[in-house]
Structure 1
Amino acid sequence: MRHTRMAACCSALVLATACPATAPASAWGAARTPAPGYVALGDSYSSGVGAGDYLPGRRECKRSSRSYPMLWAAAHHAAAFAFPACNGARVGDVLGGQLGALGPRTRLVTLTVGGSDVGFGSAMAICALGGPVPCLAAVSQARTVMARELPRSLDRLYSAIRDRAPAAHVVVLGYPHLYHLEGTCRSGLKDTERAAIDSAVDRLDAVIAGRATGHGFSFADVRAAFAGHEICSRDPWLHSVDPFAPTESYHPTAPGQAHGYFPALDRAS
């Protein structure tokens, strides 16, 4: 498959270039100077959690050779590429530990961030274990954080990115719907809860897109690409809940990175 061939190219790229993702780094994988031309910031959706084939280095960051940043760097022969994105990163983690990779010579910056800030991981755990009422309450709380706290946090981050990389084209990528409604799942959440989660993703993407475009950045919407490939679809590109691999639950698979995220970035960049 296409993503497998690209993954091989990405692995070669990591070994052949001075990629900060494989070099010693400070907290959250901050890169050394001089600044690379392409810098991939962000959380687990950018590091490639769920895609497998994880790179050496900070094991907790779970940076995958099959992630959309690695696929883009390989496809465009990026000679100077920094990959500080890390599993679990919130806006404050990106601000405090990933922006060292940026500089006046940076030409492309990509990121996904915000899902951890609003507590989506905790909400999904509650939904998986707690039943409908706690699930809907947790999703509602996440929406409250989106409305009250996330916009200010994103403004601080986006301003800092622009200050550090004034010449860069910045692409902020969104999150896909997690569930295909009236799909193949015969157990687990009910469609009422699944619909509430997808609606919250819509709101999260709207907040992120609004702040990104307000700073002159591009927003890459991946929901259409993932349509028909959500959890409970016949060909899912997202991991369902897995008690034996909880970190990878609700994250894109390698096809999700290759056929969902990578084309969205390619169009926007």
Structure 2
Amino acid sequence: MRLSRITAYVSSLLLATAFALTGATAAQADQQSGQQAAATGYVALGDSYSSGVGAGGYDSGSGDCKRTPRAYPALWAAANSPSSFNFTACSGARTGDVVANQLGPLGSGTGLVSVSVGGNDAGFADVMTTCVLQSESNCLARIATARSYVETTLPGNLDKVYTAISAKAPAAQVVVLGYPRFYKLGGGCLAGLSEKERSAINGAADLLNSTTAKRAADHGFAFGDVSSAFTGHEICSGDAWLHSVNWTNIGESYHPKAAGQSGGYLPVFSAAAS
């Protein structure tokens, strides 16, 4: 009988200790969860692929930055209601522009950041202009120059952007978005660039994405690869989510349409941010 009482006492003591420890662990978890929940502001940085050039419906107040509620950052914010939403992405932005002009809203209350940048640094607008207006040999040479820049210079510039983001918003989850391949090879385009040029442009986009993904990973950031999301919706696919040359609004050329923002970028970003 005495042994039974001792056993019952020890069991009760162990059980009480377990409850105490469990309670402490739960309290710590609740505290951490509360701290994370407090940092729920969302800041959208980057270039024209983040501001929404090509999607139309631009906010007149954004001027030449051409931000639109049809861009993936605005669509995500509308669906998820972050505690604050600051949209500073701007058409034409390079890495230096992001650091100099777009980081103001970042702070301790920033819980989520998105950014796409690097294409303008590599001169992809000039690549496409060269390829559309000049010879195949000039096109391929310009692509080679862009590739060299991406391999040698761009990584350091991306590091500056990512380091600056972390310094200003140390609690934020950062999602870096890439770029789609422009062309469906063997598709329905009967005129325009040669298949060799289209393949070289796609290859340069792949290099830009892999380079960006590596730098993002080294900073502990997520990378949203949109290439798969746009598969079947490239130029020459018959159901393109990208503008080809848009002669009525040349600045929208080779940018996602509204369908590319909502059907391509938004789900990729949402998955990476979850």
Which TM-score band (shorter chain)?
0.7 to 0.9
**Equivalent AA in structure 2 for residue 97 of structure 1:** N
Name the structure 1 match of 2:167: 163
Q: Contact 1:36–1:102 at 8 Å: present in 2 too? A: no
Where 2:96 maps in the other structure, the secondary structure is helix
Q: Which moved more, 1:77-86 or 1:90-99?
A: 77-86
1:71 aligns with 2:71: no
**Equivalent AA in structure 2 for residue 105 of structure 1:** G
Name the structure 2 match of 1:109: 113
Counterpart pick for 1:124 among 122, 128, 135: 128
1:216 aligns with 2:211: no
Identical-pair percentage = 54
Q: C-alpha distance in 2, partners of 1:56/1:79?
A: 24
Counterpart pick for 2:97 among 93, 100, 111: 93
1:206 aligns with 2:178: no
Deviations 1:33-77 (A, max 9, x none): xx9800000000000000001113132011011000000001101
Q: C-alpha distance in 2, partners of 1:131/1:111?
A: 34
**Equivalent AA in structure 1 for residue 157 of structure 2:** S
Name the structure 1 match of 2:147: 143
Deviations 1:135-170 (A, max 9, x none): 001111100110111000011110110000000000
1:229 aligns with 2:233: yes
Q: Contact 2:40–2:82 at 8 Å: present in 1 too? A: no
Name the structure 1 match of 2:256: 252
Structure 1 stretches of 4+ with a deviation exceeding 2 A read none
Where 2:156 maps in the other structure, the secondary structure is helix
Structure (1 or 2) with the greater helix fraction: 2
**Equivalent AA in structure 2 for residue 256 of structure 1:** G
Where 1:41 maps in the other structure, the secondary structure is strand
Q: Report the count of equivalent residues.
A: 235
Name the structure 2 match of 1:240: 244
Name the structure 2 match of 1:192: 196
Q: C-alpha distance in 2, partners of 1:64/1:187?
A: 32
**Equivalent AA in structure 2 for residue 227 of structure 1:** T
Where 1:123 maps in the other structure, the secondary structure is helix
CA drift of 1:171 comes to: 0.0
**Equivalent AA in structure 2 for residue 251 of structure 1:** H
Q: C-alpha distance in 2, partners of 1:144/1:48?
A: 28
Q: C-alpha distance in 2, partners of 1:205/1:216?
A: 16
CA drift of 1:178 comes to: 0.3
Counterpart pick for 1:43 among 47, 50, 59: 47
CA drift of 1:78 comes to: 2.3
**Equivalent AA in structure 2 for residue 54 of structure 1:** Y
Name the structure 1 match of 2:269: 265
Which structure 2 segments of 5+ residues have no match? 1-38
Q: Contact 2:40–2:112 at 8 Å: present in 1 too? A: no
Which structure 1 segments of 5+ residues have no match? 1-34
Two-structure CA RMSD over aligned residues (Å)? 1.0
**Equivalent AA in structure 2 for residue 156 of structure 1:** K
Q: C-alpha distance in 2, partners of 1:243/1:138?
A: 22
Q: Contact 2:92–2:120 at 8 Å: present in 1 too? A: yes
TM, length-normalised to structure 2: 0.84
**Equivalent AA in structure 2 for residue 231 of structure 1:** I
**Equivalent AA in structure 2 for residue 240 of structure 1:** S
Q: Contact 1:36–1:81 at 8 Å: present in 2 too? A: no
Where 2:46 maps in the other structure, the secondary structure is coil
CA drift of 1:131 comes to: 1.8
Q: C-alpha distance in 2, partners of 1:100/1:139?
A: 34
Counterpart pick for 2:180 among 169, 176, 182: 176
**Equivalent AA in structure 1 for residue 52 of structure 2:** G
**Equivalent AA in structure 2 for residue 72 of structure 1:** W
**Equivalent AA in structure 1 for residue 193 of structure 2:** L
